[in-house]
Chains A and B, each alone.
Chain A
Amino acid sequence: MEEKYPSLPSALHVNPYTVPDGYFADLKQRTLAQCRLSEMAEGMGEVPTGYFDQLSDRIVTKLKEQQLKETITEAGFTVPDGYFEQLEAQVRIQQHGIEKGTKSGFTVPETYFDTLQQTIASQTYQQPSTTPIRKMGRSKWMGYAAAACVALAVGIVGVNQLTAEDPTPTSNHLASVSDQEIFNYLELYGTDNDVAYISEQLNEVDEPVIGEGISAEDIEAYLNHTL
């Protein structure tokens, strides 16, 4: 200071400021701690989405649960006197029953007894009532023989009917239908090909030849008249 400001009196060459005792001794530690705190604050900024929106609702519900627990700690159900003493005995009896069944070697399906009652019921009193069938006094083979005879007779008659020749074969039926009728039918109900094919196959149409049965004089007279 003296070199920079040589005009300043030496009495002023002192630092008037003071610091608390031991300030500089732990300054480094305090500074480092402050740095760590600020780092932690940045890292802990994450909370689930909507956390603060639900927080008050959750706190209120928690309070209601606490109030409920202050008044109600038990469900209110009771049991018959001595129930739990008997329960153990009953379970042990069932357990021994299962053991015995296993020791004898016989077992049943797991749900056997659950369904047994219904199975029996469906086969007994739940069955629909049926009319009893009365047995004939005669021995069975007589009945079978009679039925066989009837079936044979019916069969023979039926076969004869089917195989008997028709006195009027189909060809005779068709011969009675004229070609013109066949042609007319096909024109109405057949395809174009049918008509064309049949017309080739049919005998000449029974149409009179033009000019057949007309005399030459009649023809001449007609021509003189028209021309």
Chain B
Amino acid sequence: MEDAQILDKFADKRTRDEAFALLLKKYQQKIYWHVRRLVIDHDDADDLVQDIFIKVWKNLENFREDAQLYTWLYRIATNECITFLNKKKQRQNVSLDDENSAYLADSLTDTGYFNGTQAQLKLQQALLTLPEKQRLVFNMKYFDDLKYEEISAIVGTSVGALKASYHLAVKKIAQFFEAND
């Protein structure tokens, strides 16, 4: 179902529940994987996804439609993830100025829900050496195949800066692979 139709249904109190169920069906996996690639741990991602959709439920009637619905959803999800990761850093006594995500490395190896190849594991390890925002941009471009304009609307960074960030991310990942061959 098109987003416009979901929003129309949501605007009508009689069909609000149905609209939300449709929205969940349409976006839950996309949002989950976006969150999971950021926070790594499945249980953390599970909690966050539920929180995110509750927030969506509470705020959808205020959605101004000046952006695409999925851009708005991604933005909520991204902000919730960043807040969560900052709290996790504090709990683990990691400085907020520490740009990389090395503190998540344990989650990568401890999580029971990683069934990737060696190459996939190496890519995730390489990603954890990147600054958080760079990792975020890489995930959205590489795995979600979003356009730079869409990523710009989600994170609030210019297209030029995003291109530069992605380019650097790919270079660092390539160097990581060469160094860890």
Complex Cα gap A90–B28 (Å): 12
Residues from chain A with a CB closer than 8 A to the CB of B114 are 76-78
**Is A30 interfacial (CB-CB < 8 Å)?**
no
Within 8 Å by CB of A65, from B32, B33, B121, B170, lies B170
Task: Given A68-B123, A84-B29, A87-B49, decide whether A77 and B113 contact each other with a Cβ distance below 8 A.
Answer: yes
**Is B25 interfacial (CB-CB < 8 Å)?**
yes
**B120 & A72 in contact (Cβ 8 Å cutoff):** yes
Residues from chain A with a CB closer than 8 A to the CB of B170 are 61, 64-65, 68
Within 8 Å by CB of A88, from B24, B40, B57, lies B24
Complex Cα gap A88–B54 (Å): 11
**Is B89 interfacial (CB-CB < 8 Å)?**
no
Q: In A37-67, which residues have CB < 8 Å from any B CB?
A: 58, 61, 64-65
Complex Cα gap A130–B91 (Å): 31
Complex Cα gap A79–B29 (Å): 11
Complex Cα gap A70–B174 (Å): 14
**B174 & A75 in contact (Cβ 8 Å cutoff):** no
The secondary structure that dominates the B interface is helix
Per-residue 0/1 for A59-103: is the Cβ within 8 Å of any B Cβ (1 yes, 0 no)? Answer: 001001100110110111111100110011011101100100000
**B116 & A74 in contact (Cβ 8 Å cutoff):** yes
- Chain B interface category by residue count: 35 or more
Task: Given A75-B120, A75-B124, A76-B121, decide whether A84 and B28 contact each other with a Cβ distance below 8 A.
Answer: yes
Task: Given A77-B113, A80-B42, decide whether A61 and B25 contact each other with a Cβ distance below 8 A.
Answer: no
Complex Cα gap A68–B143 (Å): 12
Complex Cα gap A129–B36 (Å): 45
Residues from chain A with a CB closer than 8 A to the CB of B115 are 76-78
**B50 & A87 in contact (Cβ 8 Å cutoff):** yes
Task: Given A91-B50, A98-B54, decide whether A74 and B120 contact each other with a Cβ distance below 8 A.
Answer: yes
**Nearest chain A residue, comparing its CB with the CB of B51:** A94
In the complex, how many angstroms separate the beta carbon of B40 from the nearest chain A beta carbon?
Answer: 8
**Nearest chain B residue, comparing its CB with the CB of A110:** B58
Binding site for A on B (CB under 8 A): 20-21, 24-25, 28-29, 32-33, 36-37, 40, 42, 46, 49-50, 53-54, 57-58, 111, 113-117, 119-121, 123-124, 142-143, 167, 170-171, 173-174
Pairs A–B under 8 Å by Cβ, sample size 21: A61-B170, A68-B142, A69-B142, A72-B117, A74-B116, A75-B116, A75-B120, A76-B114, A76-B121, A76-B124, A79-B32, A79-B113, A83-B46, A87-B49, A91-B49, A92-B20, A92-B24, A94-B54, A95-B53, A98-B54, A98-B57
